[in-house]
Amino acid sequence: MTTALAARRGHPTPARPFFRRRPSERLVFGVLGFAGVLILWEAVSRLELVRQAVLSRPTAIVSAAVTDATNGVIWPHIAISGTEYVLGFGAALAVGIPLGLAIGMFRRLNWLVDPWLSAIYATPTVAIVPLIIIVLGIGLETKIFVVFLEAIFVVTVSTMAGVHAADAVYHDVAESFRASGWTRFKTVILPASVPYILTGARLGTGRALVGVVIAEFLASNQGIGFYISFNGALLRSDRVYFGIILLGVLGVVLGEAMRVLERRFERWRPAIN
Amino acid sequence: MSIASRYPQPAVRSRRGGLSWIDRRGRLVYGTAGLVGFALLWEFGSRAGVINEFFFSRPTAIFQAGVNEVQLERFWRDVRVSLTEFLAGYGIAIAIGVPLGLLTGWYKRLNYALDPWLNFLNSLPRFALLPVIFIAFGLGIWSKIFVAFLGAWLAIMIPTIQGVRTVDRRFLDVAASFGASKARLFVTVVAPATVPFIITGLRLGVARALIGVITGELLAATEGLGFFIKRASDTLQTDRLLFAVLIFTFTGIILVEALRQIEKRFQRWRPPVRRGATA
Amino acid sequence: MTSNGLALRATGVRFSYVDQATRDNLLAIERIDLEIPEGQFVAIVGPSGCGKSTFVKIVNGLLPDYEGEIDVMERSGQGTAHAMVFQDAALFPWYTVLNNVSYGLRCRGVPAKAAHERAMPYIKLVGLAGFEQKYPYQLSGGMQQRANLARALTVDPEILLMDEPFAALDAQTRELMQAELLRIWDEADKTVLFITHQIDEAIYLADRVLVMSARPGRILADIPVDLPRPRELRIKRTPEFTALADRIWELISPQLHDQDVPA
């Protein structure tokens, strides 16, 4: 509540007429920085300061991208990676959110799983990918499972933090009006958790993408990750960078989409940033 | 006044970071029971044939594998290689990430210029760069050092930038009103305010660097613990595989916990964050 | 159950709790005996940490592990025995004013539409008509407290328990809200138990002021306020008012010495 009011009184946006506004400094330097690095990259490559096989160059990457998009090479890889991503990340949400709510609400369960959460946090998921391959073989299941494993931790832990974030006074209000357990869950715990669940999901989008890449590097003959490693083995760095940029763009787009969703669901929460 | 609450709450931590006795006891009892129970189920499930031992091994077998391994010279060489890669990569990430983060946070225009790239790199699964890293640095330890660096670098740098940028304006105003020089401003206000953020970054970076080392070694290496895992998996020796995984787990837990303690020390002067008022 | 027109009777109420961090057993309330007739406005004043908020929470049923007895008049009608007006408003930030105010009815199983209809008159009564669809962060502190009050009134309680509801408001808004509260009290015809640490607020509002000791809490004095009603704000500057305020301050100030006043 305090934060809400402080933020509202905080920094009033100066009402400036739109048409007279100069392009913001942020935009100018952002564009300069972005373009500058691209030009530098192209120049370094053309002057042959670094080997082509390592660095490639922006123009080569663009032409590789155009080639593989028009001859249809890249699309099946995108489709496969997309399938893994959607199924693995969907499963992580479906399991992680209820699990996080339960761990957050029941203290004994929290005590029970606490050491496991620390252990899972500390164990690199990659390390058990070879075991997963032994058990599930090299196929879609393995990759979906790796994506699921990569994403579920942040989703669960964020959700759990959300349950704990409901200020005790809101529980007091519910108790004061003799709210039933279900009503309390519906009116206090769940709404207080929503922003945290969405944050967890946003972090999860990135992790899931890491899962896709790792799984496809280690156990696949399809997908964007495979496209990258396959072309890497052939020293075709333009295509490697095209794949990487594809992943990066996917990461940015998914992250931004989650951010938009986060804002939409937080109408009751004044903008803090 | 706060009275024992009956509502879901995080472990109640006092100012000094100690847990309440109920939580301490609960954690100890339930946590231990959970771990021991799981190990027993695993062991006897495996012996009874309910769990496929070929896939999942069992605790005593993993322990036996560990006992065998630690007597071998080869194992220690793998440990030494992985440790070197981790320390070098993590060290370089700190050496570059912290100063660059401070500068980027302090100079607004630098921040604007780097922002698109940082955002892109941060959203990118950076291990996707592995194929070119192998081309550039070869299959020896340098490629792994670079991957570890790449994993930890942004994790350290981004909180550092945030730390500098979120320094409370009022404190800067106070310092400025006493005529503090830029350098003094930096030392007396910006640095102390940023230290907790840097340490958070260091904690996040540890896990990333470890992941970098193991990913690199799994994909292309001839030594190191990641390669150890790969060898074990190629020969279907799940007991040795899980032994190596546990090494990473414990290393991770110890490093993360150590940095958490340091984090706590540096945050002692901060008032506890009001719950519910989270940004 | 109470008889002869009593709304609330507390006998030998005592409360202690275990500090979670240190495991110490702390006595918050030593003993409280209290009778409140129907329709009376009673204020409790005391130094901070004296257990006055704890007492209303006990009455409200939020702290079930107390010793002693609390009888609340049972009503034949639709309403509940008591409802709490919380400190710092405590409106759910994720609900609109309308949903916050009808919350108590929803908890009792009233369907949304009916609950909204029954909430509307109270929203009007507290002067929030037109703000039903606003979220709490869009309201000023005073308006949040109005919604807080309406939320408690909507379940039609016999006793209104008010836990320092105006403590976080600025001085002018506070005075305005005090006057508003008297107007609403007059219209809604409730028994009120009002917790505050402000002496003038207690005198201005109440028929009777109870003064509590520092922790462990007990009642030091029970002072009737014989000022005429309806009261206007300028009553605060009459000699009768200041005499009462002085008398209460005499009782409270020794309690403060070991707390906030440097020795």
* DSSP string over A5-48: HHHHHH-PPP---GGGPPPPHHHHHHHHHHHHHHHHHHHHHHTT
DSSP C10: E
Q: Which residue has the higher pLDDT, B12 or C258?
A: C258
CA-based nearest distance C246→chain A, Å? 34
The Cα–Cα gap between A6 and B170 comes to 14
B269 has which bridge partners? Answer: none
For C123, the enclosing helix (H) or strand (E) is: helix C112-125
For A169, nearest residue in chain C (alpha carbons): C90
Set of chain A residues whose Cβ sits within 8 Å of the Cβ of B230:
130
Closest Cα to residue C70, out of C161, C146, C141?
C161
The pLDDT confidence band at residue A268, using thresholds 50, 70 and 90, is low
Fill in the amino acid letter for B153. W
- Decide: C216 and C51 in contact? Cβ < 8 Å: yes
Count Cβ neighbours within 10 Å for each residue of A204-242 and write b for 16 or more, e otherwise. Answer: bbbbbbbbbbbbbbbbbebbbbbbbbbbbeeebbbbbbb
Q: Backbone phi, then psi, for C159, in 5-degree steps? A: -115, 135
Length in residues, chain A: 273
d(CA C142, CA C139): 8
Interface probe for A, chosen from C20, C65, C107, C149 (most Cβ of A below 10 Å), is C107
Report chain C residues whose CB lies below 8 A from the CB of B20: 20-21
β partners of residue C31: C218
Rounded to the nearest angstrom, the minimum Cα separation between B273 and chain C is 18
* Nearest-neighbour CA in chain B from C83: distance (Å): 20
Half-sphere exposure of A31 (CA within 13 A, CB side): 5
Q: Which residues fall within 8 angstroms of residue C47, CB to CB, at 6 or more apart?
A: C197, C212, C214, C252, C255, C256, C259
Assign C76 a pLDDT band (cuts: 50, 70, 90): low
Inspect the interface and report whether the beta carbons of B4 and C18 lie closer than 8 Å. yes
Nearest to A255 by CA among A154, A165, A157, A120: A154
pLDDT in tens, A50-96: 888 888 899 999 999 999 999 999 999 999 999 999 999 999 999 99
Q: Strand runs (DSSP E) across chain A, as ranges?
A: none
Question: What was the pLDDT predicted at B268?
Answer: 59
- DSSP code, position B270: S
Cross-strand pairs, C211: C45, C221
CB contact A38 to B (< 8 Å): no
Which residue in chain C is spatially nearest to B2 when comparing CA positions?
C19
Find the range with the poorest average confidence among A164-173, B77-86, B241-250, C118-127.
A164-173
Put simply, whether A170 touches C (Cβ < 8 Å) is yes
Sheet bearing C159-163, strands edge to edge: C67-72, C6-18, C25-37, C217-224, C208-212, C41-45, C191-196, C159-163, C82-85
pLDDT bin (cut points 50, 70, 90) of residue A18 is very low
Identity at B93, one-letter amino acid code? A
Q: What percent of chain C has pLDDT over 90?
A: 56
Q: Say yes or no to pLDDT of A118 above 50.
A: yes
Judged by a CB distance cut-off of 8 A, whether residue B51 touches chain A is no
Distance of CA A216 to the CA centre of its chain: 18
What's the rounded Cα separation, in Å, for the pair B254 and B65?
A: 22
- For residues C122-144, give the mean pLDDT: 92
- Compute the distance between CA of residue A17 and CA of residue A14 in angstroms, rounded to an integer: 10
Q: How far apart are CA A44 and CA A47, in angstroms?
A: 5
Q: Do A272 and B245 touch (CB under 8 A)?
A: no
The closest CB to that of A187, out of C92, C141, C144, belongs to C92
| pLDDT level of residue B180 (50, 70, 90 thresholds) | confident
Question: Helix, strand or coil for residue C254?
Answer: helix
For residue C109, how far is the Cα from the chain centroid?
25
User: pTM for the whole thing?
Assistant: 0.83
Residue A180 CB-half CA count within 13 A: 7
pLDDT band, very low/low/confident/very high, at C79 (cuts 50, 70, 90): low
> What residues 17-56 of chain B have any CB closer than 8 A to a CB of chain C?
18, 20-22
Chain C interface includes A264 (CB < 8 A): no
Report the distance separating Cα C169 and Cα C177, nearest Å.
9
At B215, is the pLDDT very low, low, confident or very high (cuts 50, 70, 90)? Answer: very high
Using CA atoms, how far residue B64 sits from A262, B234, B242, in Å, is 49, 20, 12
Mean pLDDT of C199-214: 93
Query: From CA C46, how far away is CA A63, in angstroms rounded?
Result: 79
Tokens 């003799």 identify what position? A178
d(CA B132, CA A55): 8
Handedness of CA A102, A105, A106, A111 (dihedral sign): positive
For residue A34, with 0-12 CB atoms within 10 Å meaning exposed, 13-18 middle and 19 or more buried, which class applies? Answer: middle
The full length of chain C comes to: 263
Is B55 in contact with A135 (Cβ distance < 8 A)? Answer: yes
Burial A121-136 (b: 16+ CB within 10 A, else e): ebbbbbbbbbbbbbbb
Percent of chain B with pLDDT over 90: 47
Does residue B74 sit in helix, strand or coil?
A: helix
Nearest to A267 among C104, C135, C155 (CB): C135
* Pick from A169, A183, A268: CB nearest C107: A183
Which residue of chain B is at minimal alpha-carbon distance from A193? B276
Using the beta-carbon criterion (under 8 Å), do B4 and C49 form an inter-chain contact? no
Structure tokens at A146: 């790796």
User: Which residues of chain C from 72 to 101 reach within 8 Å of chain B, CB to CB?
Assistant: none
Rounded CA gap, B152 and B126, in Å? Answer: 11
- Would you tell me how many other CB atoms lie within 10 Å of the CB of residue B193? 17
A192 close contact with C: CB closer than 8 A: yes
Residue B56 C-beta-side C-alpha neighbours within 13 Å: 14
Q: How many CB atoms lie within 10 A of CB A197?
A: 23
In chain A, what residues touch C57 (CB-CB under 8 Å)? 172
Cβ neighbour number for residue B276 with a 10 Å cutoff: 17
Give the span between the Cα atoms of B223 and B26, in whole angstroms.
Answer: 42
Smallest CA-to-CA distance from A127 within B51, B205, B212, B222 is with: B212
C-alpha to C-alpha distance for B5 and B11, rounded to whole angstroms:
11
CB of A155 closer than 8 Å to CB of A94: no
pLDDT in tens, A164-188: 888 888 999 999 998 888 999 999 9
Closest CA to A124 of C6, C124, B249: B249
Nearest CB among C21, C49, C54 relative to B20 is that of C21
Neighbouring chains of A at 3+ CB pairs under 8 Å are B, C
Residue B3 binned pLDDT confidence (cut-offs 50, 70, 90): very low
Instruction: Enumerate residues 117 to 136 of chain C having a beta carbon within 8 A of any beta carbon in chain A.
Output: 135-136
Local structure of residue B13 (DSSP, 8 states): B
Q: Among C23, C53, C63, whose Cβ lies nearest the Cβ of B21? A: C23
Which among A8, A169, A187 has CB closest to C86? A169
C185: which 2 tokens? Answer: 């009290």
Q: Could you tell me the two tokens for B175? A: 């310092």
pLDDT of A199 > 60? The answer is yes
Say how far apart CA C177 and CA C38 lie, in whole Å: 23
Which pLDDT tens digit goes with each residue over A226-265?
Answer: 999 999 989 899 999 999 999 988 888 988 888 888 887 7
Of B26, B135, B251, which is closest to A111 when you measure between CB atoms?
B26
Cβ contact, residue pair C62, A173, below 8 Å: no
Cα B88 to the chain's mean position, in Å?
15
**Joined tokens for residue C231:** 């009261």
Binned at pLDDT 50, 70 and 90, residue B99 comes out as very high
- How many Cβ atoms sit within 10 Å of the Cβ of residue B4? 14
Cα separation, A153 vs B252, whole angstroms: 15
